[in-house]
């Protein structure tokens, strides 16, 4: 029997776990999440992603992609193992400060305009000289005329654009993005590809759950999941993406 007063399991450190690389942008050690129904990440996952990588996370529905992003963002508790952002355990203050996590369904406030959302997030994360960058992002996503509107009333595509702007306006060294192309129009998709490429060129790391082929030329690596297990980790090609998502 486990005592209810037992101390929580302490994360490993480079001194206690030689596999842990504090210089890695994102790393997992023996990471798994078992929901009890065969879903999630059912095999222990060891991955190391370096600074400046743009990784496409690919697999069919139910492969474990969202679970992986939830675990590495610190939003989910693992059944086993650990995830680290910049050498810090996922979910800690240090890891959250380095991370921008964009879920597939952006969280928006009912009573804040687009402009107020942007200012709130920028000031919350102490973004320096954010105003001009915010104007550029809003213009690139074609939302300049909607700056005073409430995003909570936007269409799915416009909410997606809002979420992307909010994820980009804060400082980060690692960005995790879950299906960002869903609902975007063609100009929005092209803008997102360009921005993610720029982010990586500036040294940040991006892990993007998507099978959007337009991102392939910008991507440096593909990680494929299937049935909660790692099935591929290597070069990105359109053929491999189609294979990993089931022939799409």
Q: Which residues pair with 40 in a beta bridge?
A: 34
Mean of pLDDT values over 218-233 = 95
**Is residue 27 predicted with pLDDT exceeding 70?**
yes
Domains identified in the chain, total number: 1
Q: Is residue 191 part of a domain?
A: yes
Residue 8 or residue 248, greater confidence = 8
Q: How high is the pLDDT of residue 5?
A: 56
Lowest mean pLDDT among 11-25, 42-56, 115-129: 11-25
Residue identified by tokens 């005592």 is 3
Mean of pLDDT values over 122-141 = 95
The CATH number of the domain where 49 resides is what? 3.40.50.300
Mean of pLDDT values over 18-29 = 92
Q: How high is the pLDDT of residue 110?
A: 94
Q: Is residue 167 part of a domain?
A: yes
Q: Is residue 105 part of a domain?
A: yes
Q: Is residue 92 part of a domain?
A: yes
Q: Is residue 18 part of a domain?
A: no
Q: Is residue 100 part of a domain?
A: yes
* pLDDT tens, position by position, 157-167: 999 999 999 99
Q: How high is the pLDDT of residue 37?
A: 76
Alpha carbon distance 82, 77 (integer Å): 9
Q: Is residue 15 part of a domain?
A: no
Domain with 173, as residue range(s), is 26-244
Residue 136 has phi, psi (to 5 degrees) of -65, -45
Q: Is residue 140 part of a domain?
A: yes
Alpha carbon distance 157, 163 (integer Å): 10
What is the chain's mean pLDDT, rounded? 92
Mean of pLDDT values over 146-166 = 95
* pLDDT tens, position by position, 173-188: 999 999 999 989 999 9
Q: How high is the pLDDT of residue 1?
A: 46
Give Cα 187 to chain centroid, integer Å: 22
* Half-sphere exposure for 46 (CA within 13 Å, toward CB): 6
Beta carbons of 39 and 228 less than 8 angstroms apart: yes
**Is residue 136 predicted with pLDDT exceeding 60?**
yes
């Amino acid at each position: 029997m486990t005592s209810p007063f037992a101390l929580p399991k302490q994360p490993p450190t480079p001194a206690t776990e030689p596999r842990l690389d504090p210089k890695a942008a994102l790393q997992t050690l023996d990471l798994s999440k078992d929901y009890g129904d065969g879903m999630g990440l059912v095999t222990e996952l060891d991955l190391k992603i370096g600074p400046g990588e743009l990784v496409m996370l690919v697999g069919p529905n139910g492969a474990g992609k969202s679970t992986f992003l939830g675990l590495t963002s610190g939003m989910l508790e693992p059944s086993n193992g650990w995830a680290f952002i910049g050498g810090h355990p996922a979910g800690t203050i240090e890891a959250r400060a380095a991370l921008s996590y964009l879920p597939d369904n952006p969280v928006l406030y009912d009573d804040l305009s687009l402009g107020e959302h942007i200012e709130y997030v920028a000031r919350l994360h102490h973004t320096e000289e954010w105003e001009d960058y915010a104007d550029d992002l809003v213009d690139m996503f074609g939302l300049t005329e909607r700056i005073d509107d409430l995003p909570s009333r936007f269409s799915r595509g416009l909410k997606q654009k809002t979420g992307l702007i909010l994820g980009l306006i804060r400082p980060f060294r690692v960005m995790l993005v879950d299906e960002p192309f869903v609902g975007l129009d063609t100009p929005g998709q092209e803008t997102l590809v360009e921005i993610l490429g720029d982010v990586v060129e500036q040294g940040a790391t991006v892990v993007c759950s998507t099978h959007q082929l337009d991102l392939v030329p910008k991507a440096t690596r593909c990680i494929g999941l299937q049935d909660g297990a790692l099935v591929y980790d290597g070069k990105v090609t359109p053929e491999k993406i189609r294979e990993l998502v089931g022939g799409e």
